[in-house]
Amino acid sequence: MYTQVYYDEMFMRQALSLATKGWGKTGINPLVGAIITKKNRIVGRGFHQKLGEAHAEVCALLEAGKRAENATLYVNLEPCCTTGLTPPCVHAIARARVRRVVMSTTDPNPDVNGKGIECLKQHNIDITIGVLAEAAQELNKWYSKFITSRIPYIILKIAASRNQRISGFKEKYITSEQSRRFVHSLRSRVSAVLIGIHTVLTDNCYLTDRFIGRHSPARIVIDPHLHIPLDSHFMEPSSRRIVITNSTNDVGKIEKLIARGVEIIILEGNHYAIDDIIEKLRMLRINSIMVEGGARVFADFHENKQYDEIYLFIAPHKVSDGIILDDRIWKEAMAQEHKPITIGDDRLYHVYRNN
């Protein structure tokens, strides 16, 4: 005989798993999954599929229909009580006469935080909170940061040789296929990837999710002198493209870029403050960014403490000549307390910023 705690965790695990189906498609909205059960049997499932479309709870209620009466709803985030692009979920839950709502965490959005729960209580709905809270927080860490600070969640992703070089590789890639697959999975979860113009010019990178096929993020290049080649892979229209540049550059080229659907951010001077770049991207509703190089861009974001996590992949080979990764990043990622994960032939150091 299983306990109710056992069932609560089991159904919440399923709600969390459903939530991940929305990766890359929910825009500034969180990843949310919902399960409705009656006598511990599932009668409805839903997840938030796309920004502007129905929330997870409403999708699950639709599937459950009349069976939602006196049922239990599992959802990884507090149901909303505000009218945004869709009406408040708490009203739909109350209308369906759900008896109990089990959730992982409250919604960090100040407009909802605790108010959704209050509203459900007013309708005499039983509340259980904190089920698999840690996993739920991890899933929506980028949402929590953006909704409370309006600063995108930032990941530095670096591939290096065993002797700290990030270029001069014999082959196009230094890391194993398994590592690259993992990187594509990370890409498919962020709003945007960002690079400096020298990386476009040297590597002609795609920056898309080609291994997983889930979602290709917006691609951003910092290019103060507008060197971007019009025939580079960056220009391919597989996802949103953003060029950060100066107003003093060739107007004809800027017009050509706009005609091809590229968004232009204008900043003045030759060196842009990282905070100014982030502010502009925030206004374009970019809520999470994976910084993919090169050396100067990594150093700038690190120096300005504009990052939340570092993924440093280290290949087993040495490279005799190439750009050396900023020593502070290398040392921080490889600090004694961090144990690497083995991935393919590589070691991966994954660290959270703690200063």
Q: Smallest distance, Å, CB 165 to ligand NAP?
A: 8
Sheet of 126-129, strand order? 41-47, 33-38, 72-77, 100-105, 126-129
Contacting range for ligand NAP; rule: CB under 6 A; set: 85-93, 182-190, 291-299, 335-343: 291-299
DSSP string, 56-82: HHHHHHHHHGGGGTT-EEEEEEPPP-S
Cα–Cα distance for residue pair 200/195, rounded to 1 Å: 8
Q: Please identify, using beta-carbon distances, which residue of 109 and 179 lies nearer to ligand NAP.
A: 179
315 binds ligand NAP per the rule CB under 6 A = no
- Of 297 and 333, the one with the shorter C-beta distance to ligand NAP is 297
Q: Is 199 in the site for ligand NAP (CB under 6 A)?
A: yes
**Least CB distance to ligand NAP at residue 251 (A):** 18
159 binds ligand NAP (CB under 6 A): yes
**Bond prior to 24 in cis (omega within 30° of 0):** no
Backbone CA torsion sign across 326, 187, 243, 232:
positive
57 has catalytic annotation: yes
Measured CA to CA, the distance from residue 133 to residue 151 in angstroms comes to: 23
CB of 164 to ligand NAP, least distance (A): 10
Dump strand ranges (E) for the chain: 33-38, 41-47, 72-77, 100-105, 126-129, 153-160, 192-196, 218-222, 241-245, 263-266, 288-291, 309-314, 341-343, 346-352
- Per annotation, catalytic residue among 57, 78, 292, 332: 57
| Interface residue with ligand NAP, options 11, 243, 293, 311 (CB under 6 A) | 293
How many residues in total does the chain contain? 355
Between 180 and 198, CB nearer to ligand NAP: 198
The answer to whether 291 contacts ligand NAP (rule: CB under 6 A) is no
Q: By C-beta, is 30 or 196 nearer to ligand NAP?
A: 196
Q: Annotated catalytic sites, by residue?
A: 57
The residues binding ligand NAP (CB under 6 A) are: 158-160, 166-167, 195-199, 202-203, 222, 224-225, 227, 270-272, 292-297, 300, 323
